[in-house]
């Protein structure tokens, strides 16, 4: 079932929770709504579900205008963060609930309900727990049951509000993979809310990034990561270093730091350069295109990688910089606390003070090896 939102908006009192927005979701797509707290994700999800009415606009499921259709008639499955299982019912009874409260004409027979519940419990791999009560389950198991319950009525649209928010990192990861494969198998259209970028990037066919009640960007995860279209999206996707620069004749400067950008007129202005922590190289000398002096503040092992914290030396930055390397690279570079190093970004995203709000993407070194790239 495709979903279309046209000019949907919502106010709570004087507060504009959603500015008029448009969104087209394809049949079978999995959409992640990603954004900081208060950006309007849950409000949007509740409007799609019919739990909240929009102040303006139209909502379509396929060709059907469902703007005024009651939540019960929308055939939507809903999964909340806090499981919302019925405590006094067994797992099997919980899963059967949606079927048992169907109007008599649509309700399957008792035998059919039993069969469907068994099938669903097989699907979520918890058939052996059918007779348990929710309090006898782990968080991850409860959330699988909540999902089985939401799927029982065979909804064409599944809405999930921070479905794995209350679970620990390992279980979260497991359930994410499992939800993705279930989705690929059953092909329902799903929209889920998260404020976890990894979750959004891993699960979604497309990610909708929200801030302050509007949509900042809609893209497939790889494109979103490769080409964030605003500073907000950059900041929100995280792990990014920020360099404020002034244009001086033929280079960018900030105190003793300088960078020579490729010769493009749109780069020849003051602005902000964003550099991701894994797109930074370090050396013991600057070169003709980049001089970003740092003191190494800390080298921390984080699983397979090492995070190097860097304090600018002779120039200003609001925050420490971070670079991530393999442990082997850290050894090669001989990095320890107190080392003095020079950074060269490999890729940067530049937002000029004037002109386009979308960034220019640039790579260093941008001159062919053996031409002007030399150590100074
Ligand atoms: N029933 C309500 N009455 C008044 N204000 C509300 C109501 N529901 C939501 N809001 C406000 O609307 C804004 C958007 O809320 P919403 O729950 O959609 O955000 P969110 O992005 O889902 O945030 P979170 O990640 O914290 O759940 C918030 O500022 C919230 O305080």
What's residue 83's pLDDT? Answer: 63
Phi-psi group of 55: left, alpha or beta (phi > 0 → left; psi -120 to 50 → alpha; rest → beta): alpha
Cα of 111 to ligand 1 centre, how many Å? 42
Helical packing angle, 169-186 and 139-151, nearest 10°: 20
Please state, for a pLDDT cut of 70, what percent of the chain lies above it: 96
SS3 assignment, position 147: helix
Cα of 193 to ligand 1 centre, how many Å? 12
What are 321-345's pLDDT values in tens digits? 999 999 999 999 999 999 999 999 9
Which long-range contacts (C-beta less than 8 Å, at least 24 apart) are formed by 353-361?
Answer: 353/269, 353/270, 353/271, 354/269, 355/266, 355/269, 356/266, 357/229, 357/230, 358/229, 358/230, 359/228, 359/229, 359/234, 359/274, 360/264, 360/266, 360/267, 361/227
Token representation of residue 369: 């090896």
Q: Which helix (H) or strand (E) holds 116?
A: helix 110-123
Decide if pLDDT at 44 tops 50. yes
- Evaluate whether ipTM surpasses 0.85: yes
Decide if pLDDT at 251 tops 70. yes
Spell out a b/e string for 122-148, using b for 16 or more CB atoms within 10 Å of the CB, else e: ebbebeebbeebbeebebbbbbbbbbb
Ligand 1 pocket, residues with Cβ under 6 angstroms? 12, 15, 17, 35, 37-43, 193, 195
What are 66-81's pLDDT values in tens digits? 999 998 888 899 888 7
Its pTM stands at 0.84
Domain map (residue ranges) of the chain: 3-228, 239-363
Q: Which helix (H) or strand (E) holds 233?
A: helix 231-237
Residue 35 DSSP one-character state? -
Would you place residue 373 in the very low, low, confident or very high pLDDT band (cuts 50, 70, 90)? Answer: very low
- Identify the CA nearest to 81 among candidates 164, 176, 172: 164
Specify the fold of 3-228.
Rossmann fold (3.40.50)
Token representation of residue 2: 């495709």
What are 57-112's pLDDT values in tens digits? 999 999 999 999 998 888 899 888 776 789 999 999 999 998 888 888 888 999 99
CATH architecture of the domain 239-363 equals Beta Barrel (2.40)
Tell me if domain 3-228 and domain 239-363 are identical in fold.
no
User: Rounded CA gap, 310 and 317, in Å?
Assistant: 11
User: Rounded CA gap, 111 and 101, in Å?
Assistant: 15
Cα of 61 to ligand 1 centre, how many Å? 24
For the CA of 40, the closest atom of ligand 1 is: 18
Would you place residue 168 in the very low, low, confident or very high pLDDT band (cuts 50, 70, 90)? Answer: confident
Q: Which of 199-213, 291-305, 341-355, 361-375 shows the lowest per-residue confidence on average (mean pLDDT)?
A: 361-375
What's residue 376's pLDDT? Answer: 47
Q: Give, rounded to a whole angstrom, the gap between the first and last alpha carbons of the chain.
A: 61
Cα of 250 to ligand 1 centre, how many Å? 47
């Amino acid at each position: 079932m495709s979903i279309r939102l046209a000019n949907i908006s919502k106010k709570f009192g004087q507060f504009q929770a959603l500015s008029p927005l448009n969104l087209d979701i394809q049949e079978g797509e999995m959409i992640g709504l990603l954004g900081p707290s208060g950006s309007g994700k849950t409000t949007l999800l509740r409007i799609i579900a019919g739990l909240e009415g929009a102040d303006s606009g139209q909502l379509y499921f396929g060709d059907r205008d469902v703007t005024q259709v009651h939540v019960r008639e929308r055939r939507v499955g809903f999964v909340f963060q806090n499981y919302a299982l019925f405590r006094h019912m067994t797992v099997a009874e919980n899963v059967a609930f949606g079927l048992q409260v169907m109007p008599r004409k649509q309700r399957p027979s008792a035998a059919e309900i039993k069969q469907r519940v068994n099938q669903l419990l097989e699907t979520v791999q918890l058939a052996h727990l059918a007779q348990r009560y929710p309090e006898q389950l782990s968080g991850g198991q409860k959330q699988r049951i909540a999902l089985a319950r939401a799927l029982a009525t065979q909804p064409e649209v599944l809405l999930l509000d921070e479905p794995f928010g209350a679970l620990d990192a390992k279980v979260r990861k497991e359930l994410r993979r499992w939800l993705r494969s279930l989705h690929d198998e059953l092909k329902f259209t799903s929209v889920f809310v998260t404020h976890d970028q990894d979750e959004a990037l891993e699960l979604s066919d497309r990610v909708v990034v929200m801030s302050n009640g509007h949509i900042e960007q809609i893209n497939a995860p790889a494109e979103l990561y490769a080409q964030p279209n605003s500073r907000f999206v950059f900041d929100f996707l995280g792990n990014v270093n920020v360099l404020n620069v002034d244009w001086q004749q033929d280079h960018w400067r900030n105190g003793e730091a300088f960078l020579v950008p490729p010769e493009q007129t749109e780069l020849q202005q003051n602005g902000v350069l964003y550099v991701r922590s894994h797109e930074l190289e370090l050396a013991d000398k600057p070169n003709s295109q980049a001089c970003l002096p740092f003191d190494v503040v800390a080298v921390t092992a984080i699983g397979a990688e090492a995070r190097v914290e860097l304090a600018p030396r002779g120039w200003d930055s609001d925050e420490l910089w971070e670079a991530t390397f393999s442990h082997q690279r850290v050894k090669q570079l001989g990095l320890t606390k107190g080392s003095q190093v020079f950074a060269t970004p490999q890729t940067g995203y530049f937002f000029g003070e004037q002109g386009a709000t979308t960034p220019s993407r640039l790579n260093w070194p941008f001159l062919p090896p053996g031409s002007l790239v030399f150590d100074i």
